[in-house]
Structure formats: structure tokens, C-alpha cells
Amino acid sequence: MSVIERARPVERAAVREPRVTDEHGRRIRVWELALRYTLLLAVLAITVGPFLWQLSTSLKGPTEDIYSSPPTFLPEHPTLHNYKRVADTIPVWDYAFNSLKVASANVVTNCVGSALAGYALARLRYRGRRVATLVFILAMLVPVEGIIIAQFTTMRELGLNNTLIGVVLPGCIGAMNVLLMRNAFLNLPYEIEEAAYVDGANVWQRFLRIALPSVKGTVAVVAIFAFMGAWDDFLWPLIVLSDPSKFTLTIGLNYLHGTFANDERLVAAGTVIAVAPLIALFACLQRYFFRGVGEGAVKG
């Protein structure tokens, strides 16, 4: 059957009807296509609909009924009033700035720290390399939730609880990122670095000029997941931060919800502020998000 289909001249079919084909060039039947799009739209409504409803709620003014049944999906008189009210209620832009600081610091430390350590594990020869690798593998297997109280007491002993540095430190060089970088370096051919070695390049030169530029993709994956992880994190900042002036966005939102739970428009505006930057980031850098899932799943 498929042989006949493939043998059929493509041009003739193209004249008859615009063909929709799958990745192997096989035609997809119309009813199957209709069914697929119906299902796709249904799933779309379930996955993206809640975000749009939140956006819609945040744009509805104080006089508009948000509880009506049947519901009104679009705001009648869209207004940014609620966003102004969030800023009047909690220092939401300070919280956003705190989140940005934490996330940026997490990106820098994870990229630098895990690239260096990954290179040491993959390329350098020294006694104790196996032990060092094992340390990172064991650290990756420890469930964070199981040690979070001890992390908190450690932070207190260091006098860093209730600081943004304390928020960043425990995850600032993730063991999984180190192992991801190690794998990336292991996949590079040895010959290039050997040539550089023969030319007299030292370890830093080989690392910075040859190895690192070849694993840019993995560095990008580490950077994105470090940013997302820090921006979205909830449990650890909730435990380590107690002073409302130091809150990150997620903790601030939790506070907003706890104090003004009945003001849905206000909470909705707060959540939109928290989620919009990440959705924008994701829209721009989808490729690396998806790549990170594949690499992370294999390791984790």
C-alpha cells in the first residue's frame, strides 16, 4: 500500500488538493486531521486557558462582576487599575527585583562553577577524580526536601539566614549541572585539545579558548534552568526569608494571597507580574528549554 502511495507522482496530487503530509511525506486523511486539531484545541484550552482567565481577571475593573454565571471571558472595560493596586499593597517591584537578583546570581554561579568542575571531572588527570565525581553523583541523589531543615540551621550558623545570599547559596552550583557539563566535555573529541597542548597552551587557555566555546549549547541549557529554578523556587526562600522587605516574588505572592485572599483581581494581577517574564523568556528560547528536559531526564 505504502509503496503505491509513494510511487504516485507528487505533482499530480498537488494539483488536486493541497496535501498535508506527516514527517515521512505520507498524506494524512482529512477526518484524521480534523480530529487531531479538535483534540489539540481542547488540550490548548485546558493548558493555556487558566493563564488567560487569570489575565482576564486581572484586567477587570472593580465594578465588573467576576463571579457571574455563565462567566464573562473578556473584560468589558480592560483596566490596569489592579496592577497599580498590587504595587500599593506590597512592594511588588522590589520583590521582582529581588527575584531578578537571585535568578541572575544563580545563572552566573551555576554556569561558571559547573563549567569549571565539569571540565575538571572530564578532562584533567589527577588523583581523586573518581571520588570527586562520586561526590557530585551522591549530591544529585540527595532529595533537597529531606535536608532542608539542616540547610536552614547551616545557614543560621553562617549568619546568612534572611539574606538573598542565603537564598542563592545552596543551589548556586547544582550537582546535576556539574554532571551535565562533564558529559558535554566528555563528548568533545580529544584531538583538538591535544593539538593545543602540543602548541603549549596551558590548562586555562585550553579550557577558555577551546573547550568552553564548543559546549555553548549546554551552558545555555544550564543558564536557562538556573534562571527558571531560582525565579520559580518556593520552599527554600519560604524557609530562609522571614523579613518581608527581602521577599522574592513567589514568597511575596504567597503573602499577598494569605492576606488578601478575597481580592481575586489583586492576586491575579500579582501572578501575571510573576509569570510574564518567564513566558517571554520561554517564547524566545524554546529550543534550549526542550533540550534541557531531554538532558536532565537522562541524568536525573
Partner 1 sequence: MALSTVSRVRRQLPTSPWLFAAPGLLITGVFILYPFGSTLANAFTDRRTLIPGHFVGFANFRELWHDDMFWTGLRNSTLYIVGVVPALVVLPLLLALLVQKNIPGITFFRSAFYTPVVASIVVVGLIWVWLLDERGLVNSLLETIGVGRIGFLSDQWLLLFSAMAVTVWKGLGYYMIIYLAALANVPRELHEAASVDGAGAIRRFFTVTVPAVRSTMVLVGALSSVAAFKVFSEVYLMAGPSGGPAGEDTTLVMLVQRTGTGLTGRVGYASALSVVVFVVTVALMLLVLRADRREDA
CA atoms of 104 and 227, how far apart (whole Å) = 7
Work out which of 102, 103, 167, 169 binds partner 1, going by CB under 8 A: 169
Contact pattern for partner 1 over residues 197 through 226, marking x by CB under 8 A:
--xxxxxxx-x-------------------
Query: Cell digits for 236?
Result: 527554600
Residue 170 contacts by C-beta under 8 Å, 6 or more apart in sequence? 144, 151, 155, 236
- Residue 54 CB, shortest distance to partner 1, in Å, is 5
- Residue 245 CB, shortest distance to partner 1, in Å, is 18
State which of positions 86-115 bind partner 1 (CB under 8 A): 112-114
Work out which of 108, 132, 186, 284 binds partner 1, going by CB under 8 A: 132
Work out which of 4, 7, 15, 68 binds partner 1, going by CB under 8 A: 68
State which of positions 137-156 bind partner 1 (CB under 8 A): 138-139, 141-143, 145-154, 156
How deeply is 65 buried, as exposed, middle or buried, from its count of CB atoms within 10 A (0-12, 13-18, 19+)?
exposed
State which of positions 226-255 bind partner 1 (CB under 8 A): 228, 231-235, 238-239, 249-250, 253-254
Measured from the CB atom, is 116 or 188 closer to partner 1? 116
CA atoms of 91 and 98, how far apart (whole Å) = 11
Work out which of 6, 8, 10, 28 binds partner 1, going by CB under 8 A: 28
Measured from the CB atom, is 63 or 126 closer to partner 1? 126
Question: Is the alpha carbon torsion for 191, 197, 201, 207 positive or negative?
Answer: positive
- Residue 118 CB, shortest distance to partner 1, in Å, is 8
First to last CA, the chain: 43
For the chain, what's the residue count?
Answer: 300
- Residue 56 CB, shortest distance to partner 1, in Å, is 10
- 187 lines the binding site for partner 1 (CB under 8 A): no
- 17 lines the binding site for partner 1 (CB under 8 A): no
Question: Is the alpha carbon torsion for 85, 163, 141, 113 positive or negative?
Answer: positive
State which of positions 266-295 bind partner 1 (CB under 8 A): 267-268, 270-271, 274-275, 278-279, 281-283, 286, 289-290, 293-294
Work out which of 12, 15, 17, 70 binds partner 1, going by CB under 8 A: 70
